[in-house]
Amino acid sequence: MSAPHMRKRLFSKSAFYGGLTCFILFSATPFYIMLITMFKRNHDLLNPDNNPFIFNESPTLEHLRLLFTQTEYPVFLLNTLLVGLAVVAITVILALPAAFSLARVAGNWGESLGVGIFLTYLVPPTLLFIPLSRIVADLGLQDSLWSLILVYPTFTVPFCTWLLMSFFKAIPKDIEEQALIDGCSRLGAFFRVLLPLSVPGIITIVVFAFTLVVNEYIYALAFIQESGKKTIGIGLTTELIRGDVFYWGALMGGALVASIPVALLYTVFLDRIISGLAMNTTKR
């Protein structure tokens, strides 16, 4: 191998690993800041002369004690999990047949209708929470987790339906036609053929829907007032910001603990999500 070629190859590898290192540092910095803030003493946090990236004083567990003993943080996590699982189940049950019908049965106008459904996802919650509050109040669901379970599918179902349509379109029609020739009904072909092939897409919408629920703030703030019914998004901000006092250590600790399950969810299903999104682009 010639010297110029070796230098070029070395430069390419150095540029690749250098860029990868910068990306990893950029992505990991928020988690590092949350982790170190969680164990810093208040004096260390609030002193502008101290380095924010290291422990200038000995670590402490006082912020974790505040988080777990003086707030209902475990209840917030449990409420978020319950609402997330319920919304994910509703989203999958509604989005799967809707996406299948629009992608396979509706014909040429299915694509336009799918785009119209997706556009409803783009309507800002700040425009919808007032009329939705009236509906929730009329149903007697105010200050109840059922209000969130009712409202959250209004933005998870449109997005996931539009996303699943692309997955179904990426599956060749020949496979479904062969199942029909072998004696399957259209519904049987859906359950026996299309559904197993669309598992990466289903996992993708499950992860996305759960993430949307965990990150949602406006509806939870409008519908929930009782501390024991709050989800993690509003629970942290309303319980750990008291007047003009910000409990930064407990806030960062709560945010870090809540982000770990979501990060693990993406990590475990990363290959499935990537394969699903890659399959999503093959029929463009």
Q: What is the pLDDT of residue 149?
A: 94
The reply to whether 192 and 107 lie within a common domain is yes
The reply to whether 30 and 103 lie within a common domain is no
The pLDDT tens digits for 10-69 are 878 888 888 889 988 898 888 899 999 999 998 888 888 888 888 888 899 999 999 998
The pLDDT tens digits for 207-216 are 888 988 888 8
- What average pLDDT does the structure give for the chain? 84
Do residues 171 and 197 touch, judged by C-beta distance below 8 A? yes
Per-residue pLDDT for 108 more than 50? Answer: yes
Structure tokens belonging to residue 86: 């319920």
The CATH number assigned to the domain holding 225 equals 1.10.3720.10
The reply to whether 48 and 187 lie within a common domain is no
Q: What is the pLDDT of residue 78?
A: 94
The reply to whether 69 and 36 lie within a common domain is no
The reply to whether 117 and 224 lie within a common domain is yes
Q: What is the pLDDT of residue 93?
A: 93
**Domain closes at, from 14, 39, 59:** 59
**DSSP conformational letter for 241:** E
The reply to whether 239 and 180 lie within a common domain is yes
The reply to whether 141 and 41 lie within a common domain is no
**DSSP conformational letter for 171:** S
In this prediction, residues 230-239 reach a mean pLDDT of 89
The pLDDT tens digits for 142-184 are 889 999 999 999 889 988 888 888 788 777 777 777 877 877 7
The reply to whether 230 and 261 lie within a common domain is yes
Q: Which of 36, 83, 82, 30 is nearest to 59 (CA)?
A: 36
In this prediction, residues 238-247 reach a mean pLDDT of 85
**Domain closes at, from 41, 59, 77:** 59
Query: Domain limits at 46?
Result: 3-59
Confidence label for 1 from pLDDT (cuts 50, 70 and 90): low
Per-residue pLDDT for 284 more than 70? Answer: no
DSSP, collapsed to helix, strand or coil, labels residue 242 as: strand
Number of domains making up the chain: 2
The reply to whether 88 and 126 lie within a common domain is yes
The pair phi, psi for residue 283, each rounded to 5°, is -105, 25
**DSSP conformational letter for 104:** I
Do residues 252 and 34 touch, judged by C-beta distance below 8 A? yes
- CA 44 to CA 36: how far, in whole Å? 11
The pair phi, psi for residue 50, each rounded to 5°, is -85, 150
The 10 Å Cβ neighbour count of residue 15 is 10
Q: What is the pLDDT of residue 106?
A: 64
**Domain closes at, from 59, 85, 102:** 59
The pLDDT tens digits for 122-141 are 778 888 888 888 888 888 88
The reply to whether 239 and 103 lie within a common domain is yes
- CA 70 to CA 72: how far, in whole Å? 7
The reply to whether 192 and 157 lie within a common domain is yes
| Percent of the chain residues past pLDDT 90, beyond the cut | 19
Do residues 230 and 238 touch, judged by C-beta distance below 8 A? yes
The reply to whether 40 and 77 lie within a common domain is no
